[in-house]
Amino acid sequence: MYSVLLVDDDLAALYMLKRFKKWGEYGFSLEGEACDGKEALRKLSGKEYDLIITDIKMPGMDGIEFVQELRSRKDDTCIVFWSTHSDFQFARQGIRFGVFEYMTKPLEEAALTDILVRAGAFISEKKAREERLKSSGKAQEEDNGIYYPVDHENLIISYILTADPRLKKATAETFSGMCNLYDGDSGKVRVLANTLLYNIKTRIDEKFPWLKKVEGLVVSGGITGSGGISSLEEEFSAQLSEIKEKILKYQLNHSDSIIRRICQCVIDNIESEVNLESIANEVHISKDYVGKLFKQKVMCNFNDYVTKMKMEHAKYLILSGNLKNYEISERLGYKKADYFSSLFKAYTGLTPSEYKKCNSQDAELQI
């Protein structure tokens, strides 16, 4: 029997799952329940489960956070999301982190039956693969750190932070290694690849926490690999390249500590008036030297860089709420909304309202 953990704060929903009479018929046994992600993690610290069925929206720790935490711990337990139709956009995030399937409320026995049949086959193959690894001596390799590519993670991060062109080759070699480890099993490769991506993004976020002020968290999304191994590799490479481009966009790849400090000061004060004098006071050097050094190292005028950062932050503000143009203009330190709109159009080619409409449509098409 495969053990099942149910995670939901809705007692009525839990009752519907527990009253399903054919768990045993499909090889499953209900052995635990939790009201949110935090309680589920406590349950998992004392017992291993083969299948977890979890709601998405819960108080405390929700389903998305729960899955992210599990994957960061290198836990690849088979997980099924079940929630309302309106939560599907959130379910997509979970699927990118290796969630096995998504089931909608209220409970439909036919849907649950289908999922249990497929999940049983998946778990059976997973256990068989683990046994083959043990018999071939690969279990010892996993214990030595080959199971999770720590060295590759460190190398990729170093290449991202320095915008090193060798990132592309390192990415390909890392993905190839994951494929070899799992004999090309796209499901297993996806889970490991998403775990690696999550850890890399988390470390980048920890290094530059002030980037949240500009465009939100780096940690988001994942890869689905709906087209198989080749699709997985393309998505994996694209996401790492996207992070590197973010580093380049904000000029964070410079080894010069003064330049990095200047860039950080600009972001820290993105919603204030930023000028050479205020930055010079922050880094304790003359404003003339700041301007000259910045132009020399970054190949960009300091004021142009500030405008670029403010426009990037404007993109985030436009899409993250219902702020009016004049409100965004004021938050960015511009006294006139028309001036802000003209700067934004010069930078993006679109007015703020056009940018919001265009990106909202893209988001709808992706759901």
Token pair belonging to 77: 């337990």
Average pLDDT over residues 266-282: 83
* Beta-bridge partner residues of 33: 6
In angstroms, the CA 185 to CA 183 distance is 6
For residue 177, give both structure tokens: 């290694």
Name which of 11-25, 139-153, 326-340 the model is least confident about: 139-153
pLDDT at 367 over 70: no
- Mean pLDDT across 109-118: 90
Nearest to 54 by CA among 69, 46, 325: 69
Which residue's entry shows tokens 């926490």?
209
Sign of the CA dihedral with 182 first, then 118, 34, and 105 last: positive
- Asked if the model's pLDDT at residue 136 lies above 60, the reply is no
Q: ∠ CA 367-226-44 to the nearest 5 degrees?
A: 85
- According to the 3-state scheme, what is the secondary structure of 64-121? HHHHHHHHHCCCCCEEEEEECHHHHHHHHHHHHCCCCEEEECCCCHHHHHHHHHHHHH
Q: Which residues contact 135 (CB under 8 A, 6 or more apart)?
A: none
Query: Percentage of the chain surpassing pLDDT 70?
Result: 83
In this predicted model, what pLDDT tens digit does every residue of 163-185 receive, in sequence order? 888 999 999 999 998 888 888 88
Q: Residue 98, Cβ neighbours under 10 Å: how many? A: 25
From the DSSP assignment, how many helices (H) and strands (E) are in the chain?
18, 5
Cβ(79)–Cβ(54) below 8 Å: yes
For residue range 77-90, what is the model confidence (pLDDT) as tens digits?
999 988 876 655 56
Q: Scan for tokens 């589920």, then name that residue.
A: 40
Question: What pLDDT does 200 receive?
Answer: 86
Measured CA to CA, the distance from residue 20 to residue 252 in angstroms comes to 54
Query: Would residue 245 be called left, alpha or beta, if left means φ above 0 and alpha means ψ between -120 and 50 degrees?
Result: alpha
Nearest Cα residue to 106 out of 35, 17, 31, 40: 17
pLDDT at site 365: 36
Please give the C-alpha separations between residue 136 and each of 123, 124, 165, in angstroms, as whole numbers: 20, 18, 37
Give CA–CA dist 92/224, Å, rounded.
9
User: Greater confidence, 184 or 147?
Assistant: 184
Cα three-residue angle 354-358-364, rounded to 5 degrees: 145
Whole-model pTM over 0.85 = no
Residue 217 has pLDDT above 60, yes or no: no
Q: In the prediction, which pLDDT does 187 show?
A: 83
What is the pLDDT, as a whole number, of residue 212?
62
Structure tokens that stand for 114 in this block = 């289908």
pLDDT in tens, 303-346: 998 998 899 888 888 887 678 899 999 989 888 999 999 999 99
AA identity, residue 80: V
Two structure tokens written together for 30 = 């209900």
